[in-house]
Structure 1
Amino acid sequence: MQKASSGTLVGVALVVGSCLSLPFGAAVAAQLFPALGSWGVTALRVGIAAVLLLVIVRPRVRGWTQQQWLAALLFGFSLAAMNGSFYAAIERIPLGPAVAIEFLGPLVLAAVLTRRLGDALWVAVAVVGMALLGVDGMIGAAGLDPIGVLFALIAAAFWAMYIRTSARVGALIPGHGGLAIGLAVAAVLLLPFGVPATVTAAGEPRLLLLALITAVLSSVIPYTFELAALRRLPQRVFGVLLSLEPAFATLAGWLILSQDATVLRMVAIGLVIAASIGTTVGARRDRRDEGPFTAPIPLPD
């Protein structure tokens, strides 16, 4: 029981670390959009992260089964689509509302996987927080760009896919080899955008430095942490814990991009954090019922 409780706390800490790292990486990436475009920044960030992890991890893929390769390929596809769509969204709408809209993906996934009334109530609290963040974005001085909202919704769908495929990779492939190969697959898929972005950035060391910071904060740290967390936490708990991210996204937008944090947004953040804490309280009991992801998890249709 002591070991299970410790594993839960570690899993929660890993998700919080991911939620801190991702939005600050996105805020740094937004500064590259005028020069490289959102998809170019995505390709450069994912490519750098893939090279770093391939060198550090050196995955031993020779003995991989067809099932392991398929899991890694689907994981890589979800990474490419999720990141590209999200960066296209924050190129057009503020960071906080974009993350709030994107969170609909894991939130719906968590609601589908929830079996207890208490979990459903905490999901409902998180929904209210997401709704308030969305309202805050719509009633502000500038409305939300419809294309930006559409990209955020697309990113939401691929975020849900990312959670499922990441869990499957964590179950089938030991260590971080699956993450390294997944990022490599994503980098190959984004190559048409990456080549011109690399040519542009190569002539400006400042752009390369910002791209490196973005890759570490937005890919290497969060994906490593989340893959480890998914081995320690039930999937629905992991999904709702990610509700911390809009709070940190609002903070990052305020600190780095000078995006206002209104009273309504702060109330929404309070509800989101409350939902995360409420979900975490039941994590210990959830682990007894389900355990970590040590067996393959079926992908959605």
Structure 2
Amino acid sequence: MATMFGSGLSNQTGAAIGSLAFPVLGPLGVVAVRQYVAALVLVAVDRPRLRAFTRRQWWPVLLLAGVFGTMNLSLYSAIDRIGLGLAVTLEFLGPLSIALAASRRRLDAGCAALAAAGVVVLMRPQPSADYLGMGLGLVAACCWASYIVLNRIVGRRVPGAQGTAAAACASAVAFLPAGILLAVRHPPTAGAVLCAVAAGVLSSAVPYLADLLTLRTVPARTFGLFMSVNPVLAAVVGRVVLGQGLGLPEWAGIGAVVAANAVSIATTRT
């Protein structure tokens, strides 16, 4: 339990610290550094034998790389516009949709309706609403759902974590030109780079290694149930680290999305 909580807290704290570098690096620069860190960590854990990959293995790996990069870029861009708590909650609709789509239970239909109600509350029309930011959060959700599906395909075709490591490397290479261009046109400060590196370590390295350890001893259903705490952690970290306060309607919307996921997973038979 402590490991899962630490993983979630590390992930959201990393995102918050990374956002502190937005004024200097922008979301693109922070995500580029995060992709570099993720690639280094995954390659160190399980070195992929790239030359041995077949065409049948490469195409889902490359798709996974594209989804991985797009997911992080859209999420960090959403964080920049609508704040950490709302962005992570909208992104969380991705895995929730995957879980509910595979079910035919009436209870899950109710959970879907509850989550939809939460989204309506979060995206309700108001003068200060940033619909582009919300849209980016939903793009991140679609990417996370695609990431789950592609990870399953890659896991069946590539042994171990080699496919994920290869995808991280491909994503890092894709972000390399953008990183170089940003560094040349707008030389980053040491503080901004440290914040971006911290985001990579806390949001990529620590959660990945912690999840590897956790999934060896904790049932998948328990792990999935605890993941539903992430939007709440994001909202709390956003308030404490970034001063991004939320009103009662926003908390109600977040609560509805979290509750929908928790009820669906807790009542699923193994």
User: Does the CA-based 8 Å contact 2:21-2:193 persist in structure 1?
Assistant: no
Distance 1:21 1:133, change over 3 A: farther
TM-score by structure 1 length? 0.74
For 1:43, the equivalent position in structure 2 comes to: 32
For 1:107, the equivalent position in structure 2 comes to: 96
Quick one: which amino acid aligns to residue 174 of structure 1?
P
TM-score by structure 2 length? 0.82
2:201 is the alignment partner of 1:216: yes
Q: How many residues are matched?
A: 267
Distance 1:150 1:134, change over 3 A: closer
- Counting only pairs closer than 5 Å after superposition, residues 1-301 of structure 1 correspond to structure 2 as 19-135=8-124, 139=126, 143-198=128-183, 204-223=189-208, 233=220, 238=224, 242-283=227-268, 285-286=269-270
Quick one: which amino acid aligns to residue 165 of structure 2?
A
User: Does the CA-based 8 Å contact 2:89-2:254 persist in structure 1?
Assistant: no
How many Å separate the matches in 1 of 2:60 and 2:226? 24
Q: Equivalent pairs: percent with the same residue?
A: 36
CA shift for structure 1 position 17: 5.6
Gaps of 5+ in 1: 1-8, 287-301
Of 125-134 and 33-42, deviating more is 125-134
How many Å separate the matches in 2 of 1:64 and 1:76? 15
How many Å separate the matches in 2 of 1:72 and 1:87? 23
Gaps of 5+ in 2: none
How many Å separate the matches in 2 of 1:215 and 1:56? 15
Per-residue CA deviation, residues 53-79 of structure 1 (Å, 9 max, x unaligned), is 223432233433333222221111100
SS in structure 2 opposite 1:152?
helix
User: Does the CA-based 8 Å contact 1:244-1:272 persist in structure 2?
Assistant: no
How many Å separate the matches in 2 of 1:201 and 1:226? 36
The root-mean-square deviation of aligned C-alpha atoms, in Å, is 3.2
CA shift for structure 1 position 144: 2.5
CA shift for structure 1 position 34: 0.5
User: Does the CA-based 8 Å contact 1:80-1:186 persist in structure 2?
Assistant: yes
CA shift for structure 1 position 85: 1.5
User: Does the CA-based 8 Å contact 1:104-1:156 persist in structure 2?
Assistant: yes
Quick one: which amino acid aligns to residue 102 of structure 1?
E
User: Does the CA-based 8 Å contact 2:121-2:253 persist in structure 1?
Assistant: yes
User: Does the CA-based 8 Å contact 2:37-2:205 persist in structure 1?
Assistant: no
User: Does the CA-based 8 Å contact 1:32-1:41 persist in structure 2?
Assistant: yes
Per-residue CA deviation, residues 236-259 of structure 1 (Å, 9 max, x unaligned), is x95x86543321211111011101
User: Does the CA-based 8 Å contact 2:114-2:257 persist in structure 1?
Assistant: yes
How many Å separate the matches in 1 of 2:51 and 2:193? 33
User: Does the CA-based 8 Å contact 1:38-1:88 persist in structure 2?
Assistant: yes
